[in-house]
Chain A
Amino acid sequence: DVKVTQSSRYLVKRTGEKVFLECVQDMDHENMFWYRQDPGLGLRLIYFSYDVKMKEKGDIPEGYSVSREKKERFSLILESASTNQTSMYLCASSELPLAGGRSNEQFFGPGTRLTVL
């Protein structure tokens, strides 16, 4: 089974701290994603990566950066955490879709609930 793991289920940080959220997948997937989920807003894409050292901005990248030094690991960085970054953060991975539109099923981790005080 595909496994996507996230470093913490719950995290509490203070305003201004630098925060690292780690995600590891074990299926050699090319694509990795970071989402945040807030009540009433659904899941929103922050950043994604389709290869090592490659990254693309999602819909809400402001206040975040990412790092993908190894294929299996994708890190989300909050350079200076703020209270409006309190949220559930979800990491996902998927294979590259094949020609002809094969399913790009995304496999999600369990999430990290981050609270910024």
Chain B
Amino acid sequence: DAKTTQPTSMDCAEGRAANLPCNHSTISGNEYVYWYRQIHSQGPQYIIHGLKNNETNEMASLIITEDRKSSTLILPHATLRDTAVYYCIVNFGNEKLTFGTGTRLTIIP
């Protein structure tokens, strides 16, 4: 599985869009980009995934660059409940996921 690089921490003002970057320059053509988050004292929670096209669901949007070497998770209107650690994972869609240390996102009131 390709390695990912994320900033250690980020802040975002409540109500603003939170944009979380992820670099995955060694991604191969068949690998997906997954995002999970972990709120304090809870297990990780799936957010979204994509292969080539941008994706949107009720939680977030995922923007993948044309060369697929990086992506951005967008939380359109961040709330205090979005404070969490966000994990970007690149995977072939097989069963194993490798979680790094992620980005600690703090939403500021």
Give how many A-B residue pairs fall within 8 Å (CB-CB).
66
CB within 8 Å of B: which of A2-19? Answer: 4
Query: Would you call B98 and A110 a contact (CB within 8 A)?
Result: no
Q: Pick the contact of B101 from A42, A50, A101 — CB < 8 Å? A: A42
Query: Would you call A103 and B49 a contact (CB within 8 A)?
Result: yes
CB within 8 Å of B: which of A55-78? Answer: 58-59
Query: Would you call B44 and A101 a contact (CB within 8 A)?
Result: no
Counting contact residues on chain B (CB < 8 A from A), the size range is 20 to 34
Counting contact residues on chain A (CB < 8 A from B), the size range is 20 to 34
The verdict on A50 contacting B43 (CB below 8 Å), with A40-B101, A101-B32, A101-B51 known, is no
Q: Is B65 an interface residue (CB 8 A)?
A: no
Q: Is B95 an interface residue (CB 8 A)?
A: yes
